Amino acid sequence: MPQLNPTPWFIMLVSCWIVLLILIVPKVLAHTYCNSPAHQSAHVPNTTSWAWLWP
């Protein structure tokens, strides 16, 4: 049964990890976003309670 021979599968596993670490990870980390996140202001808006029309 060829599934029990780990040599070709191990080489495939190592080569996939090498491709992932050398080619794909730097491309993902170098990605720049179009819109940089803006900080929320520390100003708290003035809120008033609702004035009901009935007693």
Q: According to the model, what pLDDT value does residue 1 have?
A: 53
Which has the higher per-residue pLDDT, 53 or 1? Answer: 53
CA Rg value for the chain: 29
- pLDDT tens string 1-37: 566 777 888 899 999 999 988 998 888 888 877 777 7
Q: According to the model, what pLDDT value does residue 54 have?
A: 74
Q: According to the model, what pLDDT value does residue 55 have?
A: 62
Distance of CA 27 to CAs 13, 16, 53, Å?
A: 21, 16, 61
